[in-house]
Amino acid sequence: MSGYGGLIRLRSLVFVLMVLLAGCNSAEPSTPAPTTATREVVDAAGRSLRVPQNPQRVVALSEIDLDSLLALELPPVGATDGRGSDHAPAYLGARAREVASVGNFAQPAVDRILLLQPDLILAGGHPDPQLLQQLQAIAPTAVSFKVGESWQHSFQRIAYIVGRAAAARDFLAGYRARAALLREQLQAHEGETVSIVRLSPNGPMAMQGDAFAGRVLADLGFARPLAQRGAGAGHAPPLSRERLDDIDGDWLFIGNFTPDPQGIAALRSEPAFAGLGAAKSGRVREVDAMLWTVIGGPLAANAVLEQVASTMLGSAGPAR
């Protein structure tokens, strides 16, 4: 499906399926029709669009869209899978259990989205005009974040688009209070550095200075190793054995998308790894890469706080 002809075919498909769905629903008990009230918003791409005043059937096409909607207590009807998997990110647990999959996060299945009859689509950071055009034929579609911006900024925009700005402010106030309290409890670790690494088949990749978990750690007063302070929210290229010093720190968190004992074991078996300060002091921790090394979100930020507290204080989370 491509170009103008593809859009026409998609709109025809939308019409046919809507008619069929209406026929299937005619025998079911009637449900209240969703509100038709709309409001104008500006999305992350600077596009003005009209969205439902009170959306009820939202589809989320990125990790932070799904995370944010769940934090706002507006579970989406559908969402893309976590990267590298065929299900929602594991850290979301039961919260995402009833959310239907609409395919890979990088290539959402338009036909699945169509069948969910959304009234709003959050397209994540998708800049592809053709995809946006296809999605817009189904429901109002908003680009929800800019690559590299802070998770807090993205969360507030998502809340603004779905009409729950006050709920986002309350959530962030709670997060900041928890982070401030945990920072006080971690004073014994003041001045320590924390390294964040994603394991890949080609070697460990250090996360850059603006990466999600690094921002959360900064809220706790932690610095990153010098080699991990450069600009960027992604990761550096895989490191060779000769450069493993770049992943060293007082603490080392290694993210892995799939439990792979052999991959971790292979890294630990490297003499250069055994010589790292974090390895010598027993401060290496294996963590979920989906939580620690992607774009994050409000629930992910709280989960990172809990894991830091558990790791460094031996508790389930900051005292309340």
Question: 83 and 196: one domain?
Answer: no
Separation between Cα atoms, residue 116 and residue 10, nearest integer Å: 15
Q: pTM of the entire structure?
A: 0.86
Count of structural domains within the chain: 2
Query: Where is the domain boundary, 120, 141, 170?
Result: 170
* DSSP H/E element including 40: strand 38-42
Six token digits for residue 59: 């589809």
Separation between Cα atoms, residue 50 and residue 62, nearest integer Å: 21
Which CATH number do you get for residue 223? 3.40.50.1980
- pLDDT value for 31: 42
pLDDT value at 278 more than 50: yes
**SS3 state at 216:** helix
Question: 119 and 197: one domain?
Answer: no
- pLDDT value for 66: 98
- pLDDT value for 144: 96
> Which segment, 55-59, 237-241, 284-288, is predicted with the most confidence on average?
55-59
Query: Where is the domain boundary, 170, 203, 235?
Result: 170
What mean pLDDT do residues 81-105 have?
91
Question: 283 and 146: one domain?
Answer: no
Question: 130 and 20: one domain?
Answer: yes
pLDDT value at 32 more than 70: no
- Look at residue 306 and tell me if it is in a domain: yes
In this structure, the number of other CB atoms found within 10 A of the CB of residue 16 comes to 10
State the greatest distance between any 2 C-alpha atoms of the chain, in Å, as a whole number.
69
Question: 274 and 298: one domain?
Answer: yes
Separation between Cα atoms, residue 89 and residue 72, nearest integer Å: 17
Question: 115 and 253: one domain?
Answer: no
Question: 264 and 190: one domain?
Answer: yes
Query: Where is the domain boundary, 144, 170, 196?
Result: 170
Separation between Cα atoms, residue 184 and residue 163, nearest integer Å: 34
- Look at residue 178 and tell me if it is in a domain: no
The DSSP output letter for 93 is G
User: What number of CA atoms fall less than 13 Å from residue 18's CA on the CB side?
Assistant: 11
pLDDT band for position 18 (cuts 50, 70, 90): very low
- Look at residue 175 and tell me if it is in a domain: no
**Average pLDDT of the chain?**
87
Q: Each residue of 205-223: pLDDT tens digit? A: 999 999 999 999 999 999 9
Q: Each residue of 106-143: pLDDT tens digit? A: 889 999 999 999 999 999 997 789 999 999 999 999 99
What mean pLDDT do residues 161-165 have?
98
Which is more confidently placed, 60 or 11?
A: 60
**Least reliable range by pLDDT among 54-58, 162-166, 254-258:** 254-258
- pLDDT value for 265: 79
**Least reliable range by pLDDT among 70-84, 179-193, 248-262:** 248-262
Question: 103 and 242: one domain?
Answer: no
What mean pLDDT do residues 143-164 have?
96
* Closest to 121 (Cα-Cα) out of 70, 79, 153, 151: 79
Six token digits for residue 255: 């993210």
Quote the domain boundaries for residue 76.
3-170
Question: 158 and 219: one domain?
Answer: no
- pLDDT value for 128: 86
Separation between Cα atoms, residue 227 and residue 208, nearest integer Å: 9
- Look at residue 176 and tell me if it is in a domain: no
- Look at residue 180 and tell me if it is in a domain: no
Q: Each residue of 309-319: pLDDT tens digit? A: 999 998 655 54
Question: 86 and 57: one domain?
Answer: yes
Q: What are the DSSP calls for 113-131, one per residue?
A: HHHT--SEEE-TT---HHH
Question: 68 and 199: one domain?
Answer: no
Strands 58-60 and 203-206: unpaired
- Look at residue 62 and tell me if it is in a domain: yes
What mean pLDDT do residues 63-87 have?
94
- pLDDT value for 240: 84
- Look at residue 155 and tell me if it is in a domain: yes
- Look at residue 319 and tell me if it is in a domain: no
Question: 218 and 163: one domain?
Answer: no
